[in-house]
Amino acid sequence: MTEPIPTAQREPTPRRSFVWILPLLALALSLTLLSQGWRGNGPTARIQAVDGHGIREGDSLRHLGIVVGAVERVRLAATLDHVELTVRFRPDAAGLAREGSRFWIVRPHLALDSISGLETIVGARYIALMPGPEGGSRRDEFVALASPPLEEVLEPGGVEILLFAPRRLGLRAGAPVEYREVRVGTVLAVGLASDASGVESRVYIQPRYAELVREGTRFWEAGGFEFDLGLTSGVHVGLESLQAMLVGAVRFATPPSAGALARTGQRFQLAERPQKEWLEWLPSVPVGAAQLTTGAVAPLVVRARLAWREGRVLKRKKERQGWLVRTDDGVLGPLDLLTVPEDALGGEAQLELEGTSLELLGLAPAVDLGHGLGRRALEVSPSEAGNSRAVRPPLDSRRALEPEDLLLLRDPGSDPMAIGAPRLASTEDEGVFELLESPGVDENWHGAVALARSDGRLVGVLRVEPKRTILAPLP
């Protein structure tokens, strides 16, 4: 019996369903949105203000010019005598809501001494803040200031001093502090001294002008109206600016030899009017945030003394002093410090350099570099000099093609002297300049080096002559 041939049975393949994935995706999306929403909500704080000045919900909260939060709610207080604002901080700015932080509403403000908030004329008002000291405890209630604090304009690196006077002299907070009628600071506060013996004014000087305030600086009150009647001079009427009449003004002057820099908290007397000699002072003080550009290396300048004897019958000692620049193979500077004078007895002269006395007779002569400068190969080891010094990079020099702002350096332990471009006059020799109106430059600056304020490079060496001072370039 023949068995039937088996036949294949066709069965449908079951379809895979992805419907169950949709709930998982929805759940993941919901969790993501919730997480982002949770992370996007920073802390809130309530601010009381006497006047809302048109602030609205949604207006920004700013610090250092960037948005750090927003106004969520604006309403009148229950007592109807002030406004309550609720602000929410961004999570990354949550630390700004701390003890000591101050808030104020920025709006157009026109005063005699300043104009601020102009961007809010066409744009929205906003709330600005100044954070309290770092490490302050968390706080969520504040009282807004009626106007921006004066400390808002303070920059790091400035100096705060105290001016003492027997009376107020018309000064108020916000009064300008001027040097040669250029504003360089602000009066922050005026009040009685702790023992009521006089009036103290707290003054802030901007960082780039802090170098101007020294131990010998003199201050006086410069506001108001002055009337003077003299038999020979006639009638003199002095009228300061309208701002100075209303809030007062402080001016100061610094002598050429003014001493060390003023320290924060240092006290000065405030005079009612300046003495005549104060107005004639012409100091050379480097003004700026930095005296040299970043990375600039000042040359190593050392004190030098050349001594010799002259005369056949009546022998007398002569000497000449100045400064020389140390190099890797010797020194360079004014040629008259490196050569034996023609009238030296026996052609002998001693050069005292870094505590070592060198007899120039018999040594290799100095190389004339032109313009009264020279270079001499001298071997002075640190052990002989008694002063070990670090090795410095080669001199980075260039020529000044036209007058430019300079710094004069001599003794490394003393302050540099600033020379502005207007105080340099070109001569017939290219690259050689003559200093004009430089009362602080005398024979003690002979051989000092001049560095460019723009790039810190060496542009010349000072030669102090009997009737003029020359800035001679290096070759």
**In this structure, what token pair is assigned to residue 388?**
């070990």
What is the arithmetic mean of pLDDT over 383-409?
68
Residues 186-236: pLDDT tens digits? 898 898 988 888 999 999 998 888 889 999 999 999 865 554 555 454 544
Residues 28-49: pLDDT tens digits? 776 666 555 544 578 999 999 9
Look at 281-285, 299-303, 428-432 and tell me which has the smallest mean pLDDT. 281-285
Look at 132-146, 305-319, 320-334, 377-391 and tell me which has the smallest mean pLDDT. 377-391
Is 80 exceeded by the pLDDT of residue 377? yes
Supply the pLDDT for residue 461: 93
Spatial separation of the C-alpha atoms in residues 445 and 147, rounded to whole Å: 51
Strands 373-376 and 330-334: antiparallel
CA contacts within 13 A on the Cβ side of 2: 3
Supply the pLDDT for residue 96: 92
| Between residues 198 and 343, the one the model is more confident about | 198
**Helical segments of 165-267, H only:** 242-247
What is the arithmetic mean of pLDDT over 372-394?
61
Render 255-323 in DSSP notation, one character per residue: -SS--SBPPTT-EEEEESS--HHHHH-------SS-SS-TT-----EEEEEEEEEE-SSS-EEEEEEEE
Supply the pLDDT for residue 391: 45
Residues 6+ apart with CB under 8 A from 128: 61, 62, 63, 103, 104, 105, 106, 148, 152
pLDDT band at residue 69 under the 50/70/90 scheme? very high
Supply the pLDDT for residue 181: 87
| Order of strands across the sheet that contains 367-370 | 356-359, 350-353, 301-310, 316-327, 330-334, 373-376, 367-370
What is the percent of the chain where pLDDT is above 90? 27
Residues 251-274: pLDDT tens digits? 999 998 878 888 888 999 999 999
pLDDT band at residue 343 under the 50/70/90 scheme? confident
CA contacts within 13 A on the Cβ side of 87: 37
Spatial separation of the C-alpha atoms in residues 335 and 319, rounded to whole Å: 14
| Side chain identity at residue 96, one-letter code | L
Is 50 exceeded by the pLDDT of residue 390? no
Supply the pLDDT for residue 125: 83
Query: Could you write out the three-class secondary structure of 115-139?
Result: EECHHHCCCCCEEEEECCCCCCCEC
* Residue in this structure with the two tokens 């003299």, named with its chain if needed: 230
Residues 6+ apart with CB under 8 A from 40: 91
Is 90 exceeded by the pLDDT of residue 71? yes
Is 90 exceeded by the pLDDT of residue 163? yes
Sign of CA dihedral 357, 362, 367, 371: positive
Residue 151, sorted as left (phi over 0), alpha (psi -120 to 50) or beta, turns out to be: alpha
CATH 2.40.10 fits 284-475, yes or no: yes
Spatial separation of the C-alpha atoms in residues 207 and 158, rounded to whole Å: 4
pLDDT band at residue 397 under the 50/70/90 scheme? confident
Supply the pLDDT for residue 13: 59
Residues 401-455: pLDDT tens digits? 899 988 888 876 677 888 888 889 998 888 899 998 766 788 889 999 999 988 8
Is 60 exceeded by the pLDDT of residue 113? no
Averaged pLDDT score across all residues of the chain:
80
Is 50 exceeded by the pLDDT of residue 118? no
23: enclosing H helix or E strand:
helix 21-39
Contact yes or no for 46/83 (Cβ under 8 A):
no
Domain ranges (residues) in the chain: 44-148, 153-280, 284-475
Is 70 exceeded by the pLDDT of residue 114? no
Supply the pLDDT for residue 74: 94
| Between residues 453 and 156, the one the model is more confident about | 453
What is the percent of the chain where pLDDT is above 70? 76
Q: What angle do CA 238, 242, 244 make, to 5 degrees?
A: 75
Look at 98-112, 240-254, 286-300 and tell me which has the smallest mean pLDDT. 286-300
Spatial separation of the C-alpha atoms in residues 257 and 284, rounded to whole Å: 9
Supply the pLDDT for residue 455: 86
pTM above 0.85, yes or no: no
Strands 218-221 and 267-271: parallel
